[in-house]
Amino acid sequence: YMVKGNKIEHLSDFFFWGAWLSSTDRPDRDFSYTNNWPFDEQAGNTMPSEALIWSAISVAILVAGVAIIIYFQRRYQFDMESTYDSERRLPAITIQNTISSSQAKTAKYFVIVMVLFLIQILLGELMAHYYVENEFFGIPLQKLFPCNIAKTWHLQLVIFWVATTWLATGIYIVPRVLGKEPKHQGKLVDILFIALLIVAGGSMIGEWGNILGWINDKWWLFGHFGWEYIELGKFWQILCIIGMVLWMIILARGFIPAIKDGSEQHRKRLILLLFIGAIAIPMFYLA
């Protein structure tokens, strides 16, 4: 399918400009635009002294910064316990005896987490197998699941199962924070779960079809976008953002009243931090 249209020309241009950037010296310099990376002594690509010096400086600044933070933390006793004036331990959280409807519905989220994690492990084993051979007892696996789709899914599934765990955890603690179940919360949890399945399944099928040549003109919309950690096409990214906004609404129905309640400041700060994290995740895909 690479010979269809002008794909082969784009691929050739990519190889040419990639090689040009890594081998052509900058004006008035004796190293390339990529600081002679990748290393190839026969091609003259050796690490310039400037790159070595700045790498050492960066590591030194990192070590010094960590040392300064540890010094101030120990010198002025910036410990968590000092936040609580009346007690020297973390306050106990009252646990409800019953499980609400939305909390019970998070169980299927964790089932999906286990399934996605298992598939990710199998894809990692498949990638390791491809370094030995591209078949499996005569089955042409490379024609069905090319190595690049195995790598894409392997990385994409990490994001999916970690994000799913984060979604389910946030949903589960909403009734605990608010002290009651928000109205129609269970229905919103079910809608979010369906959206999760559509985004995860649809984006993976689109990436697979794009790499196999089934999606050509609309590859950027439904297929493989090509960016690290954001391989899913723009259509799936938009659906993902909509789903994350729905998750923010689910959390806000319990978190905002709890934040406004200033009776327990320690819980207020923790809830606010979690809610800010919920806002930051869709912003990552909007960037």
At residue 41, the pLDDT reads 82
Entry pTM: 0.66
d(CA 194, CA 197): 5
d(CA 141, CA 133): 10
At residue 5, the pLDDT reads 65
Q: Is the Cβ–Cβ distance between 95 and 101 less than 8 Å?
A: no
For the chain, 287 residues long, the average pLDDT of each consecutive 10-residue run is 68 89 88 85 83 93 96 79 53 65 92 95 89 80 84 90 90 86 91 94 90 79 79 88 90 86 71 82 70
d(CA 278, CA 270): 13
At residue 192, the pLDDT reads 94
Q: Which domains does the chain have, with CATH numbers?
A: 7-83 (no CATH), 102-286 (1.20.210.10)
At residue 121, the pLDDT reads 94
At residue 4, the pLDDT reads 62
At residue 71, the pLDDT reads 92
Give per-residue burial for 197-232: e unless 16+ CB within 10 Å, then b.
Answer: eebbebbbebbbbbbeeebeeebeebbbbeeeebbb
DSSP 236-257: HHHHHHHHHHHHHHHHHHHHHH
